[in-house]
Chain A
Amino acid sequence: MTRDVQDAVTALSQGERPEPPRGPIAGLFYGFARGARPVDEPACAFFTDTSICIGCKACEVACKQWNQLPVDDVRWSGDSYDNTFELSATSWRHVKFIEDFPAIAGPAAGALPAPALDDIEAILAEPRTARWLMLSDQCKHCDDAPCHDACPSGAIVYTEYEGVFIQSDICVGCSSCVAACPFGVITRSEIDGHAHKCTMCLDRLRDGLPPACAQACPTGSIAFGEHREMKEQARERLLAVRERGYDGARLYGDEPSSAYTELHNMYLLLDEPQAYGLPEQPVSPRLVRLTGDYLRAGAVLAVAVAVVVVLLLTGGF
Chain B
Amino acid sequence: MVAPAKAAGALLATSPYASRRQTKVPGWAGLTAWDVLFNNLSLGLFLVTALGMLVRPAWFASTATAAYIVAFVLVLVDLSLLVVDLGDPPRFTHMLRVAKRESPMSVGTWSLSGYAALLFLVCIVSVAGWEDVTRVLAAVTLIPAAGGVLYKGVLFSATSQAGWRASRWLGALMAESAVLVGAALLLAILVLSHQGGGEGASAVRAALAVLLVLQIATALEVRRDVPGRYGPLAGLVVWIGVLAVGIVVPLELLLLGNLFQIVAALLVVAAAPVLRYALVFLPRDGRKEPS
Q: Which residues of A contact B (CB under 8 A)?
A: 31-32, 51, 77-79, 82, 86, 96, 98, 100, 124, 127-131, 133, 146, 149-154, 170, 172-176, 178-188, 193, 241, 244-248, 271-272, 274-280, 283, 285-286, 289-290, 292-294, 296-301, 303-305, 307-309, 311-317
Contact = CB atoms under 8 A, between A and B. Distances in A.
Interface residues of B, number: 87
Nearest to B20: A277
A153 B94 contact: yes
Count chain A CB atoms within 10 A of each CB in B17, B88, B92, B180 and give the residue with the most. Answer: B17
Interface string B1-22: 1111111111110111110111
B87 A173 contact: yes
A174 B161 CA distance: 15
A173 B17 contact: no
A275 B172 contact: no
Given A154-B97, A174-B105, A293 B170 contact: yes
A290 B101 CA distance: 10
A78 B20 CA distance: 14
A301 B98 contact: no
B3 A128 contact: yes
Count chain B CB atoms within 10 A of each CB in A78, A124, A276, A301 and give the residue with the most. Answer: A301
A245 B3 CA distance: 5
Contact of B95 (A172, A180, A246, A313): A172
B265 interface: no
24 contacts: A100-B6, A100-B10, A130-B4, A152-B103, A170-B97, A179-B26, A181-B24, A183-B22, A274-B12, A277-B22, A285-B159, A290-B102, A292-B168, A293-B158, A296-B171, A297-B172, A301-B172, A304-B175, A304-B180, A307-B214, A308-B47, A308-B183, A312-B51, A316-B207
A219 to B, nearest CB: 13
Contacts of B165: 283, 285, 289
A297 B183 contact: no
A149 B214 contact: no
B138 interface: no
Contacts of B79: none
Contacts of B154: 290, 293-294, 297
Given A152-B98, A179-B161, A297-B171, 7 more contacts: A128-B4, A154-B97, A172-B95, A173-B91, A297-B149, A304-B179, A304-B211
